[in-house]
Amino acid sequence: MSTTASDPLSALGALPGVADAVDSVRKAVDRVYGHRVMRRRSNEVTAEAALRGARGSAALSGADWNLEEVRRRTDFSGEGEAHVIGAALRLTAEAGQLLSIWRQSPLRVLARLHLVAAGGAAPDDAVGRPRLVGEPVDEPLIEAPLPDADEVAGRLEGLSGLILSGTSAPALVTAAVVHGELLALRPFGSYNGLVARTAERIVLIGSGLDPKSICPAEVGHAEQGRAAYVAAFEGYLSGTPDGMAAWIAHCGRSVELGVRESMAVCEALQRGAA
């Protein structure tokens, strides 16, 4: 990717089409935050966005359940799809609690996210740490070649350094890079997609773009479909300017679709209160 030495992420904001995506996202977010329902019932919108975001993230990881089924169920302790749904719900609930730690130690947060996602479903010594040499990765949907354990460790440190050093890049750009890099590395033996999308959420919240967490990008990623998600991710993997711009634009469109979902929630709440 094209970068500058002092602020590697900022150069991505200058790629063709990225500024337009950033501006479109900002306008969409401003619209939903300006809705009259947000003045009185923002907590309800946040709760609904969390549920819908978790459902969308789980769908991309192979558990494509109807929203009402996710809402109705209370027991996600089983294996298979039920565990994936439960993991997505737990991660969404955890995201807002980790903002202060993320600013100090992103790697600690990633370890915590994997621990929360696994929820006892993986061997204890494999949970909450990057995979070691020879350890397999179970990751639905993403079939790109796996970096080896040494490369994973080095690139995680690099990603952490970028976050800790700060950047003038727009929140959308930073969130897209964090998401894409974690998908590329798949640092854990499982649940990497869920963790990557939660990290994207944390960046969007912590940056101030979406402080109330009402713009669930996971909804948009799922709505655009698994094939589009993989195709855009391949652009990230290519590292080319066009590929990176396409991935950032895809993430931006996902946020916009998440905004549309929350606007619909606001309208429904307003009609109910009328």
Q: In this model, does residue 273 exceed pLDDT 80?
A: no
Segment 20-44, tens digit of pLDDT: 999 999 999 999 999 999 999 999 9
Q: Which of 43, 65, 92 lies closest to 194 in space, CA to CA?
A: 92
pLDDT at position 252: 98
Phi and psi based region of residue 32 (left: phi greater than 0; alpha: psi -120 to 50; beta: remaining): alpha
Distance separating the N- and C-terminal Cα atoms of the chain = 51
pLDDT at position 121: 57
Per-residue pLDDT, averaged over 207-226, amounts to 97
Helix (H) or strand (E) holding 188: none
Q: What are phi and psi of 190, to 5 degrees?
A: -160, 165
pLDDT-derived band at 6, boundaries 50, 70, 90: low
Residues in CB range of 127: below 8 A, 6 or more apart: 114, 115, 118
β-partners of residue 190 are: 138
Segment 76-103, tens digit of pLDDT: 777 789 999 999 999 999 998 999 999 9
Tell me which residue has tokens 């819908």: 52
Round to whole Å and give the CA distance between 109 and 201.
13
Q: In this model, does residue 4 exceed pLDDT 50?
A: no
Q: What is the DSSP letter of 211?
A: T
pLDDT at position 211: 96
Under a CB-based contact definition with an 8 Å cutoff, are residues 172 and 209 in contact? yes
Per-residue pLDDT, averaged over 195-215, amounts to 97
Segment 55-79, tens digit of pLDDT: 999 999 999 999 999 999 887 777 7
Tell me which residue has tokens 């978790």: 54
pLDDT-derived band at 2, boundaries 50, 70, 90: very low
Segment 172-196, tens digit of pLDDT: 999 999 999 999 999 999 999 999 9
pLDDT-derived band at 8, boundaries 50, 70, 90: confident
Segment 221-272, tens digit of pLDDT: 999 999 999 999 999 999 999 999 999 999 999 999 999 999 999 999 999 8
β-partners of residue 138 are: 190
Per-residue pLDDT, averaged over 201-223, amounts to 97
| Helical ranges in the chain per DSSP H | 18-33, 38-60, 67-72, 81-95, 99-104, 106-118, 149-165, 171-185, 192-206, 217-224, 226-238, 241-273
The model's pTM: 0.94
pLDDT at position 120: 63
